[in-house]
Structure 1
Amino acid sequence: MEFDDDLNACAAMVEEGDPDRFRAAMAVPVRARSVLFPLYAFNIEVSRAPWVTEEPLIAEMRLQWWIDALDEIGSGGVVRRHEVVTPLAHVLDAEGAEILTGAVEARRADASREDVTEIRDLDAYLAATGGGLLWTAARALGSDQEARARAAGLRGARANWLLGASALQRRGRRPFPQMEAEAIGRVAARWRDDRAGLGEAPSAAQRRAELAVWRADAVLREAAAAPRRVLEGTLGQAVMRPRLSLALRAAGIGRAV
């Protein structure tokens, strides 16, 4: 795939809306970027869809639009013309479209503004969204390490959830069952220590996909040590060391997660 107007639009969308993934994509070869930018732009569009309206029904309709687009891609028929959907159709096969459909379905909880009452339910949501996205990216880049990809994606989604928890609170959603700093610290510590599925060494394709979660370790450590920053919205503001970590991982020197 050449970088046409659609791919350039996807890259610009990711640069503005998801700077961490943009930096990760820019650290891989151009051919890999042409795979990653449509996936990351899709993720931005879908994650925003439930929040652009206060009406749950309209939010559901926006999510259904993306499910229908993925169904068109997966069925191999005519695909609607759209600056994200069109390049996405060049990246996904039927299985990839099915995985991302699960990610969109999980976001119906956002459309209905559901509070988090159980950590296991939150983990299932994060596994479907973050885990599903990273596995789709890894597959599209040539990896067959599903368990590792999903585990790495879950780890990144957990970190992002902690980073966004205060914003969710401001939007009227309860991001954790218990909102006291001590309780959040316990969750963050468990997430920090959970490396299930990450024992297998990553392939080159897998490593490129996992660059998307380059901040996860640092964010999880910080949240466990200073959980009040989660509530204050000041988590992850020191980024120099994580950026060095990204550079090392892109060079194949650092740990992949």
Structure 2
Amino acid sequence: MSTAFDADVTACADLVRRADAPRFQAAMAAPVAARGVLFPVYAFNVEVARAPWVTSEPMIAEMRLQWWVDALEEIRAGGAVRRHEVVTPLARVLDAEGAGLLIDLIEARRWDVERAPFEDEADFTRYIEATSGNLIRAAARALGPAEEDVLRDAGFALGLANWFRAIPALEAAGRKPLPDGRPEAVRMLAREGLRRLAKARTARADVSSAAAPALFPLWETGPVLRAAMRRPASVAEGALDPAPARSRFGLMLRALSGRW
């Protein structure tokens, strides 16, 4: 698959830089060829993640999501694909299964449009695995071989950490972002995220060096989850962000060593 770093990929990188700084920094720590894969995947995620929030009209949000489903169906079919600064480079790096993973991601994102609370913890877990998990799986698949179970565990841990960080904004928007917001329930969720993160890292050997950059976004996951477990109130307070200098140093070390 082509990973040419052309004007479209540059536009994708700029979109990710503006809207998803942690993933932008993680992609910039990757080899140049990997960036040509990661930026279109991450730009797609930016577009889909914000689609339900740029309008108060559910029908318009659904139409935006359906547009992306239709574009991915074109990629999955292997024929002509619509011209678009994100779709065009995305079509160069996804195979049919990768496109299918991202279609499933969009289907999970319909929760953001419906704005109903999660039914239970299992429902919440499915959402995190289908959004963050499928994103990591699609990115890794486009880069190189990796064990699916490792990617699922890593994707859940990363998605949970990012979700915790987003909770103040979600609550301000009138959402109920957790099935159980009590401190003990938040602590248990954080503990489960850390368990799955540790499990994924124990199996690093099952992720090829080519696919490893798809897991570089995990660089802040451990500190965020540990902070949430130590003091669950920090989730609602928006006080989970690691110290910037220490965090950047951690990313640099992981990128140099490959030990995501």
* TM-score by shorter chain over 0.5: yes
TM-score normalised over the length of structure 1: 0.94
Q: How big is the shift at 1:197?
A: 4.8
Give the counterpart letter for 2:227 in structure 1: E
Per-residue CA shift, 1:37-78, capped at 9, x if unaligned? Answer: 000000000000111111112111111110000000110121
Q: Which residue of 1 aligns with 2:167?
A: 165
Q: Which residue of 2 aligns with 1:82?
A: 84
* Equivalent pair of 2:117/2:175 in contact (CA under 8 Å): yes
Taking the TM superposition and a 5 Å limit, the aligned residue runs for 1:229-248 are 229-248=234-253
Q: How big is the shift at 1:79?
A: 0.8
**Percent identity between the aligned chains?**
50
Q: Which residue of 2 aligns with 1:30?
A: 32
Q: How big is the shift at 1:191?
A: 2.1
Q: Which residue of 1 aligns with 2:219?
A: 214
Among 165, 185, 188, the alignment partner of 2:187 is 185
* Aligned counterparts of 2:48 and 2:103: Cα–Cα separation in 1: 10
Q: How big is the shift at 1:206?
A: 3.1
Give the counterpart letter for 2:149 in structure 1: A
For structure 1, which runs of at least 5 residues remain unmatched after alignment? none
Q: How big is the shift at 1:208?
A: 1.4
Count the aligned residue pairs. Answer: 255
For structure 2, which runs of at least 5 residues remain unmatched after alignment? none
Q: Which residue of 2 aligns with 1:148?
A: 150
Greater per-residue helix proportion: 2
Deviates more, 1:237-246 or 1:96-105: 237-246
* Aligned counterparts of 1:198 and 1:28: Cα–Cα separation in 2: 18
* Aligned counterparts of 1:187 and 1:240: Cα–Cα separation in 2: 27
Q: Which residue of 1 aligns with 2:16?
A: 14
* Equivalent pair of 1:145/1:206 in contact (CA under 8 Å): no
* Aligned counterparts of 1:233 and 1:117: Cα–Cα separation in 2: 24
Give the counterpart letter for 2:82 in structure 1: R
C-alpha root-mean-square deviation of aligned residues, in Å?
Answer: 1.5
* Equivalent pair of 1:13/1:41 in contact (CA under 8 Å): yes
Taking the TM superposition and a 5 Å limit, the aligned residue runs for 1:18-167 are 18-167=20-169
* Aligned counterparts of 1:237 and 1:246: Cα–Cα separation in 2: 12
TM-score normalised over the length of structure 2: 0.93
Establish whether residue 199 from structure 1 lines up as the match of residue 210 from structure 2: no
